[in-house]
Amino acid sequence: MATTPRLGALDPAAVDLTAPFGGGTLPNPVSTASGCAGYGREIAKFQPLAELGSITTRTIMPYPRAGRATPRMAETPSGMLNGIGLQGSGIEHFVEHELPWLAERGARVLVSIAGERVEEFAECARLLNGRPGVIGLEANLSCPDVDNRGLVFACNPATSYDVVQAVREVADPVLPVYAKLTADVTSITDVAKACVKAGADGLSMINTLLGIVIDTDTLRPHLTGTSGGLSGPAIRPVAVRCVHQVHAAMRAGEFAAVPILGMGGIRTGLDALQFVLAGASGVAVGTAIFNDPSAPLRVLDELRAALAARGFAELTDAIGYAHQ
């Protein structure tokens, strides 16, 4: 490795990967991205869940949701477009049938929650208090707000504020509340600021970007929902920009600094390192899991090696290093 800006290469085994998470820490920074690892059962066949810093569940609503009709996906260059529509059996089913299984395996579970109304987010949060295995909540703000013309919560600092505040109010104080942001906004830092002011203990970014694929045989949009979410390496530069921008605003003192969970196209340890250097304290692997089901643990190993090769003895030394 040619680039050793700091002390020279270290032994990867000696790198301290302890990662800031909410007001506390996790043993390492790698999580799975919501919707890309189910509830853990399937990827557990490819890596022990307890070795990951955390696993993020797919987004759970208070009630069962069928999701959209198929086709729900299209492959795109270095990415994919999905329109799953948050299929799930609801929060009670999760708490009863999925969470205990995860807890038994020592998984640290970041539960992604959502609703179509502010109260629905709070309803989910309430049911997660005191449950073994749960280490935090991620409010997926990319849900349409039925009380606000179906506009996505995360598009608006005020509605984002309302959700985070409602969740923070009912959630157990020991559980960090993360707000998951979208990059499909004029100013992601304005939304980030609103979330932190409302009490968010961390920010997850970014969710998928809105896109459309048109089927040139049927001459119609390929997904039944017309547009869908673009993910994968194709969106990585956008995601790294968002993390960089929000971290810069925190450094400039525009609002309180909270840990950032970065995601968007992470496929390798070096991809993850970009997010860390931009200001992320944690990273989540998403679409890459579909290509390589053992990607999360591989990314962790590669990140450890990449930090060591650049002389970073501690992950925390590298967080935001690109701003120095």
Partner 1 sequence: MAHPLQRQAEIVELSPVGGHHRLVLRAEGIAERVLPGHFVAVAVGGPDSSMLLRRSFFIHRADPTAETIEVVFAEQGRGTRELARCRPGDTLDIVAPLGNAFSVPSGAVSALLVAGGYGSAPMFALADLIRAQGGSVGFILGAATGDRLFGVEEARALTPDVLVTTEDGSVGIRGRVTLPLTEAMRAIEAGVVYACGPTDLLEAVAETATAEGVRCFTAVEEDMACGIGVCMTCVLPVVGDDGVSRFARACVEGPCFDGSRVRWDEVGTIPADIEGAAAMGVH
Ligand X SMILES: Cc1cc2nc3c(=O)[nH]c(=O)nc-3n(C[C@H](O)[C@H](O)[C@H](O)COP(=O)(O)O)c2cc1C
> 180 phi and psi, to 5 degrees?
-95, 120
In the numeric block, which tokens belong to residue 121? Answer: 């987010």
Q: Which of residues 260-289 bind partner 1 (CB under 8 A)?
A: 267-268, 287-289
- Residue 112 CB, shortest distance to ligand X, in Å, is 5
By DSSP bridging, strand 209-212 and strand 227-231 are antiparallel
State the binding string over 29-68 for partner 1 (x if CB under 8 A, else -): ------xxxx--xxx-xx-----------x--x-xxxxxx
Based on the shown chain and the rule CB under 8 A, indicate whether residue 292 belongs to the binding site for partner 1.
yes
CA distances in angstroms from 302 to 14, 153, 212, 269, 318, listed in the order given:
14, 35, 33, 4, 15
Q: Which residue reads 């849900």 in tokens?
A: 143
Contact 114, 67 (CB under 8 A): no
The listed partner (ligand X, partner 1, none) that binds 208, CB under 5 to 8 Å by sort, is ligand X
Please state the separation of Cα 43 from the chain's center in Å: 17
Q: Which does 235 bind (CB under 5 to 8 A by kind): ligand X, partner 1, none?
A: ligand X
Q: Which is nearer to partner 1, 37 or 181 (CB)?
A: 37
- The binder of 140, among ligand X, partner 1, none, by C-beta within 5 to 8 A per type, is ligand X
List residues near ligand X by CB under 6 A. 33-36, 58-59, 82, 84, 86, 112, 140, 180, 207-208, 229, 231-232, 235, 263-266, 286-288
| 180, interface contact from partner 1, ligand X, none, CB < 5-8 Å by kind | ligand X
Cβ closest to ligand X, residue 272 vs residue 309 = 272
143 has catalytic annotation: yes
**3-class SS at 43?**
helix
Task: Please tell me the distance from the alpha carbon of residue 307 to that of residue 314, in angstroms, as a whole number.
Answer: 8
CB of 209 to partner 1, least distance (A): 15
Residues 6+ apart with CB under 8 A from 217: none
Q: For the chain, how many residues are written?
A: 324
Residue 199 partner contact from ligand X, partner 1, none using kind-dependent CB cut-offs of 5 to 8 Å? none
**Measured from the CB of residue 88, what is the shortest distance to partner 1 in angstroms?**
7
Q: What Rg, from alpha-carbon coordinates, does the chain have?
A: 19
Which tokens belong to 163?
A: 């959700």
Which 8-state DSSP code applies to residue 294?
T
What residue ranges bind partner 1 (CB under 8 A)? 35-38, 41-43, 45-46, 58, 61, 63-73, 75, 77-80, 82, 84-85, 87-90, 224, 232-233, 267-268, 287-294
* Active site positions, annotated: 143
